[in-house]
A and B are shown apart, each in its own frame.
Chain A
Amino acid sequence: MARKPVARKPKARKPEARGRGPAPGRFVETAVEVEGRTETRIVEIPASEPAPWTDAAPLAVVGARVPRVDAEEKVTGRARYTADIARPGMLHAVFRRAPIPRGRIRTLDLAPARAVPGVYDVLGPGDAPEKTRLFSREIFYAEQPVAAVCADTRAAAIRAAHAIVVEYDPAPFAVTFEQAVAPDAPKVRAKGNLYPGSPIVESRGDLDAGLRAADVVIRREYRTPVALHSALEPHGAVAEWEGDRLTVWESTQGIFRVREHVAKALGVPMSKVRVIKEQMGGGFGAKNGAGAHTYAAALFARRTGRPVRCVNDREAEQTDSGNRPATTQRVTLGAKRDGTLTAIHLVADVPLGISGWEGGPGQFYHEMYACPNVRTEETFAYVNTSGMQAFRGPGYTEGAFGLESAMNALARELHMDPIALRVKNFAERDPRKNRPYTGNRLLECYEEGARRFGWKTVNREPSTVNRKRRGVGLASQVWPTGGGPPAYALVRINSDATVEVLTGTQDLGTGARTVLAQIAAEALGAKLEHVRMIIGDTQSLPYTGNSWGSMTTASVGPAVRMAAEDARHQLVEAAATMLAATPDALEVRDSRLIVRDTDRTMTFAEVTGQLGDVMIIGKGSRGPNPPDVAIMTFGAQFAEVEVDVETGIVRVLRIVAVHDAGRIINPLLAESQLEGGILQGLGYALFEERVLDRTLGRQLNANLHDYKIPTMADVPVIEAFFVPGADPRANHTGARGLAEPPIIPTAPAIAAAVADAIGAEVSEIPLTPWRVLEALARG
């Protein structure tokens, strides 16, 4: 049969490159943005990367609304979480924690704990390697671990932890920003109460000139609370030593980072530490490395020779497992009569807790609008409370509440439609670093959102007669979602034609397993049900980074695609021989190879059956990011609320969300991500707030009854959409990240709707009945 010469796109990999070491010049610097921080990495350029999947690419599996590949395990109870890991002979570890926020241990008697039946070991001050930072005699925050016990049952360990006798010499403490920065403030920690470099100032243009040029200047002060991640599966680890090798099962967003932390803290080689994570009950940013529980489990396991489990109880999870820090944001906006922003000024105070990083609200102020004169001054202070951790959209979520609330106030001041104000100040380029975007459809998000919400048609006349008043509002969002290297994947085709994707990433419940399987199936031409994801094990899988910063799809997806394309090319070469065709004449789809324009075809199983134990293994890696571009996800959310002006209770009736995240690999799962982010944003707006007793420095709501997260009864009508369109300039899958963006604009959109409903602004979240009534009283 005649074979037509068909022009095809170049092969994904030059055959001559196979099996050789990197050629000179194959390593380059690339910039990777992680949650607003830019890191420079030296990475290998893949020998050849696949051509980008543009909108015109004929994709069948990518973009399909298919169920989660691990859904069946989850609905049958078969899914195994770290908290489910039970090893033969396993012991249970429990911490004793300090009840005071600052001071020193005066006396500590561990003997009563050792006497409790079932107790195997006790650890106190001086018993843990210094790098674990465990069991210091000096107390820096309430609930700091001072000792730990391991026993054959959890109940015995709890009894023994209670039996430890500790006396403290309390010392003056600071648990608020104001206390920490006061002239006579107590020393929060050994070295200074301010985060190094505070206030951190970032500036573009000339703020004073911008304010002088303004026709209208508004000044506001906004406050956001400490919010708690509240993952339903607490932080936890199970550790087991075999000789000098340590295995850790950990509920984590980063198996390789846990490995690094454990190896460093315990002084063992990284190659001796294996970290495993199968399923995980949520992370939201708080599970990005090893923690006290990990170190305690590993130390006890080494000392006792037994596997040891250490899982937080709910109180520990709500007090000492990370939080989103509070902010006070003093915002000044200057604008022309037509809404053109001339100046944005932020002065922010952020109490970090006893540790943390400078992921503050300021970045959002620099990135959201095309204002020429922007200045942010952020002061980060350490305080005697448990340290912060990244929490979904860290910094940007807080910053959006400040800036977007101020923009809505400005719109009211200018008697301008808040959408028109935003469109007026739309950034054509990344205004922070003056570089082009790979893609930005924010204007379409406004337009589409307004249309679906009925922005112009909703009755916006505030009622003064009804007890229940309705209002509407909106807010926007930006978030860096480019992802980047390093990330690696292998794709192997087994002799039974099943496909396994091996990559050292993790699925937090986001759906990474599913979207990566879809990418592999698409690139390989395999049926999705034949593809199995093998992830979450540092020992057997190639490296990928943490699942943070909405990075996994954009980082690991291209590596998986490349590995699958590599495997496909090898399979095609093998099948070409069997089908007496040239590789170029073969098409691959639905786990079948077809000689184009003929009826000659073979299934994967027929090819692998003939190959026998000859195995096809494809390799892929994530190439560098394109230079000097901004890779961002955008969106706008619209809220409609009903406020009971007698009780102050706010009920959210409806949220319409439209985001631009490039190609959506799986619309069903992406929609779930949007809904989940919106509901966490709704909790942040209405209920969630860590409450401290400021005289004792201790938390008052360390449980899920008093720290209120949304329930099904709180759920409004949510309509969540993406504007369609791939972003082939971001990476060759055309997908950007989307997990964190949806939480960012929800709270300011709801707050704007409340202001619209009651005719008064509530400048502090959560929008509790008390605060709403206060705002009403002020008028």
Chain B
Amino acid sequence: MKKSTKILGLGAALSLLAAPAFAQETAEYTVFILNSLLFLIGGFLVFWMAAGFTMLEAGLVRSKNVTMQLTKNMALFSLAGIVYYLLGYNLMYPLGSWSIGTDETGGYLGAFAVAALEAVGVGPDGVDDLSYASTGSDFFFQLMFAAATASIVSGTLAERIKLWPFLIFTVLLTGLIYPIQASWKWGGGFLDSQFGFLDFAGSTVVHSVGGWAALAGALVLGPRIGRYTKEGRVVPFPGSNLPLATLGTFILWMGWFGFNGGSQLAMGSIGDVADISRIFANTNTAAMGGAVAALVLTQLLYKKPDLTMILNGALAGLVSITAEPLTPTLGEATLIGAAGGVIVVFAVPFLDKLKIDDAVGAIPVHLLAGIWGTIAVLFTNPEATIKGQFLSIIIVGVFVFVVSYIVWTILKLTVGIRVSEEDEITGLDMAELGMEAYPDFSRS
């Protein structure tokens, strides 16, 4: 998803030679118009992923915490958008104006400025980058990725974290942590220019980042009460609404077409449109591979298929293909996704063994499948290097995990991040919000 200045498409150049003046002009602007359109469509698809995360989480937590999960998702999405405008956008895309570093020697810290759009009714001479896309469409599209990163965190920490400290973390994540590391790759910073790191739509830059932040939070916060017994047994807390969790997964799946397809960042040529088509098909089949892998594996391991694992498997397939949805063949994409599904089925019980309590499986899906997807680029894209991929995974991981761990610890020591034992057992809905998601049902 790197922003680069592209020359006008070949089609536009050819039309300059042959077509009459009017058509000439239209063709000249085709790149700008179609690229902007791609960002707008991609953007509202990625926006819809917020609904997917919300439904998935609402379905996988217990009914006494559903309203809180809905509230967090509404709040985090809205806050993420505002801080991305205030800080994130220009930190992530400094367009050469680095606070620390340069494009040539490697950028480390982007620019501090609020995002600004193009003027109303702007003409071809007034747009920021005629060869690329409108700034409004780019901002709209990029902002959705920042919000998606924060959504990942809310699922893991569900059912025990206080609302406001969580939201403070969201602000820091989407305003600083996410855009700073994203600038290293997508803003043309040092991971891009010095390391040759490849991450098409963000297996590492978005998903692993959300996963690392969630992991740090889960470690500082601790498991939900009663989740692990003294004898080391794991106590399952079955989700309250599997139809919602399934709907959420399908919504995320759909949103992913915008997430990966839009990350082509160009739709003004035959090559770009064909590439976007490849990306849609590969993204889709990777999810299928992940779901089928989890279906078969849970049947073999546990004698019955586990729907929640199949849902996680489909999402892990999507995360796995996100670092490189373009170059794989359909078969390769299916296998890359299937490997993501396998990772989830083994990682969920493994995290439980370590007593790391992840309420919805976001760490296996986003962090571990994200790492896998970033490595998998090596199999299908000859431009990827082992050094570039592995070092970038480690650098981003260390940065996000350490900073997140420090932020969570500071929040824990100052305002506290965990609700009281009584509130946790009562449920956050009544304790923190005084409002139940399903007030008509008696609790068994």
Say whether A associates with B: no
- Which residues of A are in contact with B by a Cβ distance under 8 Å? none
- Which residues of B are in contact with A by a Cβ distance under 8 Å? none
